[in-house]
Chain A
């Protein structure tokens, strides 16, 4: 049972009264999905219906306007599988900055001539982890088997499950749609995006990110950035700074893997 808040995902379903989605789907207000899904899960429990409440929501609907509801659902450990597909901006309304937009990226509300976004990307998956949710994972559209396995695993677990799914947006990031998988893959290969999973108290890196724990194996960040128009204005110093921030992120993730490893 899908709940989808206002986002590009509300547009791609096809036009009513028809639908291109082969499962039951409730469209819901922008900030409401985590709470609506909680209600569906509780109703199914009370009515004895076998079914899962799943949210498919954008980064804006999750990390910004819907964040209080997401946090509350995680804190209650409501029986919801929440997938945040992260295209790093409000794309449906035409590429405005969200808290998931990375530093220095251009959006229509963080113009390139003013240096792009000033602030860091919010690490929602780690915040969900800090809630004590039983299952939290990152994923990337370039690695569908990893995503499939994580969805299947999450569906087995009762309680709040959160998957942070990296999803490049060709018009929003200014690259040719034929490069979508390439951009997504480069995000992992440069170490910008780290695939990890927290399951039943165990935190671990997932392949292919595992090898990039070794910094020398990572591709230069430039290979990821240069594919996208939204980073076209970046200076070499800024790129070096972003690479340092990637190192910091890796440091945190590796510490977590050590602290919560098997």
Chain B
């Protein structure tokens, strides 16, 4: 039996991500400052400057170039990381699609933040949800520990599935809040996450005259390529579960794959949510259960690939209340995604906590009751 102890410590979510990236040993990091992401790359540049991490840290002039730089590095066979928030994420927009279309296994932390105007740095999920159709895998952590674990897992997933992975964590709620966590020993991370295989299909190498991305002779070639991204996401569902289980075996924590389930076995009602506020949702659900309300909770860890099969398990529930910390002209994003699996009659979509407005466990309880009264549709809090 190996004697490798984890280090019990306390960190902010951003530093937890920075430590996870350091332990993942990337070759190239490029990023641009934006609140509340900035402290991730500040910490990483410190690791590089102090020689604790052997990597190129590239200071770029924009988020677009941050992603372009790690894209070039990733296509050349490097393990590459970037991080951003909100306006920075949207500034990357064209590159996001190009990176996903190139199947570049980049990992990016997205520290969620509302989108202006007005200028507001507080938490909301609109930014990360807006990239859900770009071809990236999109995940959200619910704790500092999970932000660490997901980041390490994201590299495995990206390099296995050839899908870039965005790891979300809530701005300030996680990014700047100190929580306790276990940092695993480097040896175990190395075992879980070996260096990126040099045998990537079709690497960019001098002397290997391959052309990437030129105009296709037949649009069907492009169409097939796009379909493969769809299939890669379908297959990634299995990989996410396997990687999570293996992580659990090796490093002691797993979360259930694409979703985390609580008290769903006997649930007449189900609450669905994503991100850090699920902790408050869970407290609310627990309190409701003590009052005799048969309610359970499903936390979405991934929204791309979307956990269709897991959400379909909620078929048995009478009513499903989805909490969206985002708003679009058509309602909440997650509400519509869940309704696309379960149908509109079963789902009530509660839009709350947008623009960083505080939303506590007691607010969840009150909103839950309001949602049951509404029976369906969108409830704006």
The interface of chain A, by Cβ under 8 A from chain B, is 1, 3, 10-11, 13-19, 21-29, 31-32, 34-40, 42-47, 49-53, 68-69, 71-72, 76, 78
Contact = CB atoms under 8 A, between A and B. Distances in A.
Interface in B41-94: 54-56, 58-62, 64-66, 68-78, 80, 94
A175 to B, nearest CB: 26
B117 interface: no
- Most chain A CB within 10 A, of B54, B55, B214, is at B214
A227 B64 CA distance: 41
Nearest to B216: A16
Q: Which 5 A-B pairs have CB atoms at the shortest separation, nearest pair first?
A: A39-B72, A27-B213, A19-B211, A51-B206, A35-B68
Given A17-B217, A31-B64, A69-B62, A43 B77 contact: yes
B161 interface: no
Given A32-B64, A69-B68, A11 B77 contact: no
Nearest to B202: A24
Nearest to B97: A29
A48 to B, nearest CB: 10
B290 interface: no
B80 A39 contact: yes
Given A16-B211, A19-B211, A27-B213, A43 B65 contact: no
Interface string B149-185: 0000000000000000000000000000000000000
Instruction: Summarize A's interface: helix, strand, loop or mixed.
Output: mixed
Contacts of A10: 214-215
Given A13-B214, A14-B214, A39-B28, A44 B76 contact: yes
Given A27-B214, A47-B27, A76 B59 contact: yes
Contact of B95 (A32, A34, A49, A78): A32
Contacts of A31: 64, 94
Nearest to B59: A76
Interface string B181-207: 000000000000000001000001111
Given A22-B209, A24-B207, A24-B209, 7 more contacts: A17-B216, A19-B211, A38-B69, A40-B76, A46-B55, A46-B78, A49-B205
Most buried by B among A17, A36, A42, A49: A42
B209 A43 contact: no
A40 B215 contact: no
Contact of B73 (A23, A42, A72, A76): A42
Contacts of A3: 72
Contacts of B359: none
A76 B204 contact: no
B216 A15 contact: yes
Interface string B27-47: 110100000000000000000
B208 interface: yes
Contacts of B95: 29, 32
Nearest to A42: B56
A14 B60 CA distance: 32
A1 B76 CA distance: 10
Given A38-B58, A46-B27, A72 B65 contact: yes
Interface in B263-307: none
A40 B59 CA distance: 15
B200 to A, nearest CB: 11
A29 B61 contact: no
A69 to B, nearest CB: 5
A132 to B, nearest CB: 16
Contact of B209 (A23, A36, A37, A52): A23
B98 interface: yes
9 contacts: A25-B212, A26-B72, A28-B71, A34-B65, A35-B65, A35-B68, A40-B72, A68-B61, A76-B59
A161 to B, nearest CB: 17
B210 interface: yes
B221 interface: yes
Nearest to B204: A24
Contacts of A23: 206, 209
Nearest to A31: B64
Given A32-B95, A42-B27, A47 B77 contact: yes
Contacts of B210: 19, 24-25
